[in-house]
Structure 1
Amino acid sequence: MPRSFEEVRILTSGDIPQVRRLLETSEYIYQRFTLDELPSILAHYPALGVFNGSSLRGFILSQTVHAPSAWIAGFCVSWTENRAYARLLHTLLEHLAPRLTAQGVHHLHYSGNDVEQDWLRDVLLTEGFVPYRLLYAYDKFDYRVPTQGNQQVIVRPFEVRDIPALLTIEDACFEDLWRYDAVSFLDIAETHPYFVVAELDGKVIGYQFNALDDEYGYLVRIAVHPSVGGHGIGARLMAEAIRFFEKARVIRIMLNTQDDNTNAHRLYEWFGFMRISQVGFVLRKNL
């Protein structure tokens, strides 16, 4: 595509059909969102497309823009532009950066599933990204649980009134790149089939949510405030999550976690998750 015909502009809800078409037809896709989440991503976070006239040739989406961190949620180019994907990525990143910094973002992150075979990793390293974290992946192929966890804990569906407590848990449990904000929690409630909180003595002290993709289940996040750690609350949330996956009849439950999160590793392995050899990773770029 001749560069003189390129136009970079913000994507809107009106561009969703073209975004979906690229995702359905291109082989050059990076996607860490579900199609159900797409309208919300375009509504809340900076998203840019490269157009030739009215035709979308490539796009980049951001997600969880929670100062000082944000994530690349998606990148895709049309099959006609596959040889130019590195240049289009460079162009889109150049236009995305000032929009993120205007929202107080200082660090942009990218997450890949396989440090050895990721099609964007080397290109991103030339764009100023640097290795930041390694991720371990775990799989489970049955519904067995070793314990039901703390039965004094009430596990109930998320409600909007829970958001202040969840933000407190985020600050206590996670470094900035992993934290969700209020908008993110509302999006999660709208787009995920399972989102619960854990209450103890009338106080929200943990939460957990999952995603489904056909016959596969994803345990996306489990978090317990460290002030009540060691009381079987994480085990209770895990047991309830596996019960949800059993009702959904998934054949495989998947999750990932940081390589140094040893407490989480012990919980997952206790519940029968097996660590796989493939190692994921996070790249970071300072804006």
Structure 2
Amino acid sequence: MWLHVRPATRADRTAILGLIRSHRRSQMALDWWSLEEWLDSPHAWVVERVGQVVAFWLGILADSPVAWLRGAAVADGEDASALFRQIWPHLADALAAQGAEAVVGMADGAWLEPVYEALGFTLRTRVITLRKEDRRLPALPPASARIRPALFSDIPRIAEVDRQAFEPMWWYGPTILTRAWRQVPHFLVAEEAGGIVGYTFADLYGMHGHIVRLAVHPAHQGRAIGAHLLAESLRYLIDLGAFPITLNTQIENQASQALYRRFGFRPTGHEVAIWGRPVKDG
């Protein structure tokens, strides 16, 4: 039956939201963006079948050579791999034109994994969720860094810490950090000798507290800076009565998991697969 692949527009908002809300195969993780901000951009694409939107795919590129696929939906009864195979060349061209060298995507649920595999993606890692259900905090050695609220003027230095602490697929650059700083309720930095050496921020979803980010510059790791940042974020959430409190980390990141276990976090069993590939073949 006739298919038409085209960029998504703001006029598609209702149809896209209908796909997300009314069909089983959908995934959205826009963080501090809204869907509307990405419609009419070259990164959002739909497939129409006889005038009806049956698939949607969105890639986001911000301050990194690695783009993230953050929105995907397909109508019930449709062949997801076939439809996303129609979108992929257009989305890849759009992301490459914006400077993307690689692309990664989450598969929170099994339906997207065969789609990624069919398009030449490979499994990069799995992200696990850990949950804290008590109010206890461990004893810590004296802090070697001053912990204080982040200022807007700190954003460039925070971005540099992030770039040193993570590989490119995980980078939070100034664009993302600025949005987070403006929207989350709790954002801290660790400072030594006038320089920022670490940071963290937390968010609330109703009364569910979530530690979104915790990073320490590699040259300053091993001195309990991350532990003090985590403790201050947890105090904030606990004092608000947040429950539960969660955070995410890569399944292979044993050092971070050891820190989180000290603070009473335990794996929930929920895992999200992360798939990736170069934007262009060859």
Tell me if TM exceeds 0.5: yes
After the TM superposition, which of the residue ranges 97-106 and 211-220 deviates more from structure 2?
Answer: 211-220
- Please say if residues 32 and 179 of structure 2, whose CA atoms lie closer than 8 Å, have aligned partners that are also in contact: no
Tell me, yes or no, if structure 1 residue 106 matches structure 2 residue 101.
yes
SS at 2:229 equivalent: helix
TM-score (norm 2): 0.86
Give the aligned partner of residue 138 of structure 1.
130
Tell whether 2:65 aligns with 1:73: no
Shift of 1:34: 4.7
Q: Distance in 1 between matches of 2:34 and 2:135?
A: 28
Matches of 2:90 and 2:159, distance apart in 1:
30
Q: Contact 1:69 / 1:105 at 8 angstroms: preserved in 2? A: yes
Q: Distance in 2 between matches of 1:55 and 1:192?
A: 37
Q: What residue in structure 2 maps to residue 96 of structure 1?
A: 91
State the one-letter code of the partner of 1:145. L
Relative to 1, partners in 2 of residues 1:274 and 1:96: Cα closer, same or farther, differing over 3 Å? same
**Counterparts of 1:140 and 1:91, CA distance in 2:** 43
Number of equivalent positions: 279
Scaled by the length of structure 1, the TM-score of the pair is 0.84
Sequence identity of aligned pairs in percent?
Answer: 27
- Amino acid paired to 1:47: A
What is the correspondence of 1:9-20 to structure 2 with a 5 Å cutoff?
9-12=7-10, 15-20=12-17
C-alpha distance in 1 between matches for 2:148 and 2:47: 43
Instruction: Tell me which of 66, 82, 90 is aligned to 1:87.
Output: 82
The more displaced of 30-39 and 249-258 is 30-39
Distance 2:188 2:41 in 1: 23
1:182 aligns with 2:184: no
Instruction: Choose from 264, 267, 281 the match for 2:259.
Output: 267
1:166 maps to amino acid:
I
Superposed CA deviations along residues 3-37 of structure 1, whole A, max 9, x for unmatched, are 24x2411444x544443343222221112225864
1:213 aligns with 2:212: no
Question: Is 1:169–1:225's contact at 8 Å kept on the other side of the alignment?
Answer: yes
Structure 2 counterpart of 1:83, which letter? E
Matched residue, 2:114: 122
| Aligned twin of 2:30 | 33
Say yes or no: does 1:61 pair with 2:58: yes
- Name which of structure 1's ranges 139-148 and 42-51 shifts more when overlaid on structure 2: 42-51
Q: CA deviation at 1:41?
A: 4.8
Shift of residue 54 of structure 1? 6.8
Work out whether residues 209 and 244 of structure 2, in 8 Å CA contact, stay in contact via their aligned partners in 1: yes
- For residues 98-154 of structure 1, the C-alpha deviation after alignment (integer angstroms, 9 at most, x for no partner) is 0111122121111235xxx52211221111111122333321112211036655644
Amino acid across the alignment from 2:95 = L
Distance 1:52 1:104, change over 3 A: same
* Equivalent position of 2:241 in the other structure: 249
Match 1:48 to one of 23, 39, 45: 45
Residues 243 and 72 of structure 1: CA distance in aligned 2, closer, same or farther (over 3 Å): same
Q: 1:197·1:208 contact (CA, 8 Å) conserved in 2?
A: yes
1:192 and 2:191 correspond: no
Q: What's the RMSD between the two structures over aligned residues?
A: 2.7
CA-CA distance at 1:235 after TM superposition: 1.1
Equivalent pair of 2:63/2:174 in contact (CA under 8 Å): no
Distance 1:33 1:151 in 2: 35
Aligned partners of 1:120 and 1:164: how far apart in 2? 35
Q: Is the 8 A contact 1:135 1:258 kept in 2?
A: yes
Task: Give the Cα–Cα distance (whole angstroms) in 2 for the partners of residues 121 and 68 of structure 1.
Answer: 23
2: CA distance, partners of 1:173 / 1:61 = 27
Contact persistence 2:61–2:100 (CA under 8 A): no
Question: Which shows bigger deviation, 131-140 or 120-129?
Answer: 131-140
SS in 2 for 1:207: strand
